[in-house]
């Protein structure tokens, strides 16, 4: 009984702390849109919608009934993992918050931000290899050690791990598809090879969990959660791959037609 009440308190505190950054994110995003509009630089509705839905998925993952259920139900936990670590990051990368902030800031402050984006720290962390290790490696650590059990008893650990899941997912997505100004670019081939390896790491872990669920998770729950992780991961990764290929397709566009004396002439 005592343990149950303690769990409840841990739940509530964790929910409040984790809700905070996403609310701030929404407020800053809207503030930046307002300032940008005042500077006569309108912002697209599509990106705004991406930010709102992305934030919503993240918030659903950390507060409310699903978040509470995730403490006892492994498949609910996996759904949270998909929302917080994959879907929300993808939508929020598509919302291009850095580009928006750069528009809203004064030239002087924008320069500071771009300098920071050019820094060695960002170069290292936004390399697909490092981003994949932080993201997929973190998951291996979480599910194959007793970290998963400990996380549900320790509020600090719970918050840190959930923030890590989101941030790692965000940086991961950012390192593969270039929506924002990207000073440290990597070739399409490099990113393609890495996304295959990262997806493989994710899939292998998902199947491994099918037979070896984390401590305290029943076999049946492990099986459902594992399949959710596997196919859900495929779905979100498919979107990243499509965007990556689409960007390649646009970039390699040949100059199909040129006009010579008003007549369209195809060239190679």
Partner 1 sequence: MDKANTNTNNHANYLQRNLWSGILFGLGLVAFLDETLFHQLLHWHHFYDKSTTNIGLISDGLFHAFSWFATIAGLFLFADLRRRKEWIVTKWWGGVLLGGGTFQLYDGTIQHKLMRIHQIRYVDNVIVYDVIWNIIAILMVVMGIIMIRKRGDKHA
Residues whose CB falls within 8 Å of the CB of residue 141, separated by 6 or more in sequence, listed in order: 147
Q: Which pair of structure tokens corresponds to residue 88? A: 């929300």
The alpha carbon of residue 141 and the mean position of all alpha carbons in its chain are separated, in whole angstroms, by 18
The least CB distance from residue 254 to partner 1, in Å, is 6
Q: What distances in angstroms separate CA 232 from CA 78, 133, 237, one per listed residue?
A: 9, 20, 8
Tokens of 150: 């400990």
Q: Is 144 in the site for partner 1 (CB under 8 A)?
A: no
Of 146, 245, 257, 258, the residue at the interface with partner 1 (CB under 8 A) is 245
Tell me the CA distances in angstroms from 39 to 35, 82, 256, one per residue in order: 6, 37, 37
Instruction: Please say which residue, 101 or 205, places its beta carbon nearer to partner 1.
Output: 205
User: Going by C-beta distance under 8 Å and a sequence separation of 6 or more, which residues neighbour residue 38?
Assistant: none
For the CB of residue 211, give the shortest distance to partner 1 in the complex, in Å: 6
- What does the per-residue mask of binding to partner 1 show for 184-223, with x meaning CB under 8 A? --------x--xxxxxxxxxx--xx-xx------------
Shorter beta-carbon distance to partner 1: residue 135 or 226? 226
* Cα separation, 190 vs 78, whole angstroms: 29
Residue span 220-239 as binding mask against partner 1, x where in contact by CB under 8 A, dash where not: ------xx--x---x--xx-
CB of 219 to partner 1, least distance (A): 11
- Residues at the contact surface with partner 1, assessed by CB under 8 A: 192, 195-204, 207-208, 210-211, 226-227, 230, 234, 237-238, 241-242, 245-246, 248-249, 252-254, 256, 266, 268
């Amino acid at each position: 009984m005592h343990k149950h009440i303690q769990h409840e308190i841990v739940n509530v505190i964790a929910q409040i702390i984790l809700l905070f950054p996403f609310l701030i994110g929404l407020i800053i995003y809207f503030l930046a849109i307002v300032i940008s509009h005042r500077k006569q630089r309108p912002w697209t509705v599509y990106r705004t919608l991406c930010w709102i839905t992305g934030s919503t998925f993240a918030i659903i993952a950390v507060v409310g009934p699903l978040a509470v259920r995730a403490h006892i139900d492994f498949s609910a936990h996996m759904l949270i993992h998909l929302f917080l670590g994959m879907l929300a990051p993808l939508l929020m990368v598509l919302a291009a918050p850095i580009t928006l902030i750069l528009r809203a800031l004064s030239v002087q402050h924008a320069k500071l931000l771009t300098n920071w984006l050019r820094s060695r720290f960002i170069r290292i962390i936004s390399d697909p290899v490092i981003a994949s290790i932080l993201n997929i490696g973190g998951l291996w650590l979480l599910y194959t050690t007793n970290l998963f059990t400990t996380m549900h008893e320790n509020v600090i650990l719970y918050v840190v791990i959930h923030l890590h899941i989101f941030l790692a997912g965000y940086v991961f997505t950012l390192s593969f598809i270039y929506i924002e100004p990207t000073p440290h670019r990597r070739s399409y081939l490099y990113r393609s090879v890495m996304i295959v390896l990262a997806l493989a790491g994710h899939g292998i872990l998902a199947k491994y969990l099918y037979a070896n669920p984390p401590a305290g998770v029943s076999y049946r729950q492990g099986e459902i959660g594992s399949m959710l992780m596997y196919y859900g991961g495929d779905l979100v990764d498919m979107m990243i791959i499509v965007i990556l290929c689409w960007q390649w397709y646009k970039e390699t566009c040949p100059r199909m037609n040129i006009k010579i004396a008003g007549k369209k002439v195809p060239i190679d």
